[in-house]
Amino acid sequence: VTGASAWPAAEPIETARLWLEPQREDHADEMASVLDDVRLHTFIGGEPATASLLRQRYARQAAGQSPDGREGWLNWIVRRRDDGAPLGTVQATLRRGGDAMTAEIAWVVAIGHQGHGYATEAAGALASWLQRRGAAILTAHIHPEHGASIAVARRLGMRATGTMVDGETRWIGGETRDGIRFQAPTPDD
């Protein structure tokens, strides 16, 4: 495909403590060790990826969109500004339904760095950035017993819907830190 993607591209995002760096293929080795813990997969399934698998995944994701162009794929490495330590990742999958752009977001923080509010800070900044880039609807899918992730979604001002998708509850947002509300999705979003 030549020409510009139909989707916004990931850009660096800065928060009080964090630096969200657009993910590149050469982050794979570093992230493979950061994310090498089966406990990160308790609620999301799967297992830790080897560096080589992660390199392939990051290379695919670097396209910024699905092969058919119907989804935008935006991924960031989350770093601590203090020392540059990689803490985890955040991602957004963009889709269009009618006029509205929907962003589905997800977050991961390494076991040793959890409990410091990093996921909330990273995902909150991501939600604001997405809204500035035109996302009208924010969604996330969270296992109903995943207390930490539910807490993050609540802190973002998201609320649980009655919809389950593959055993996960659909959450919708919400209000960004800038106080701007996301729309309620229609049933097809």
Ligand X SMILES: CC(C)(COP(=O)(O)OP(=O)(O)OC[C@H]1O[C@@H](n2cnc3c(N)ncnc32)[C@H](O)[C@@H]1OP(=O)(O)O)[C@@H](O)C(=O)NCCC(=O)NCCS
Phi, psi of 110 (to 5 degrees): -55, 145
Could you say whether residue 114 binds ligand X (CB under 6 A)? yes
Task: Give the CA distances from residue 7 to residues 3, 10, 160, in Å, rounded to whole numbers and listed in that order.
Answer: 12, 9, 27
Could you say whether residue 103 binds ligand X (CB under 6 A)? no
Could you say whether residue 160 binds ligand X (CB under 6 A)? no
The residue with its CB nearest to ligand X is 147
Could you say whether residue 151 binds ligand X (CB under 6 A)? yes
**Closest distance to ligand X from the beta carbon of 16 (Å):** 13
Could you say whether residue 78 binds ligand X (CB under 6 A)? no
- Dig out the tokens for 129 from the structure: 């950035």
Cβ distance to ligand X smaller for residue 39 or 181: 39
Alpha helices (H) along 15-174: 28-34, 51-61, 118-132, 147-155
Alpha helices (H) along the chain: 28-34, 51-61, 118-132, 147-155
Applying CB under 6 A, among 44, 62, 85, 160 the residue interacting with ligand X is: 44
Phi, psi of 46 (to 5 degrees): 75, -165
**Pseudo-torsion of CA 8, 110, 49, 64, nearest 10°?**
0
Applying CB under 6 A, among 17, 106, 157, 160 the residue interacting with ligand X is: 106
**Closest distance to ligand X from the beta carbon of 120 (Å):** 3
Residue numbers at the binding site for ligand X (CB under 6 A) = 40, 43-44, 106-109, 114-120, 140, 142, 146-149, 151-152, 155
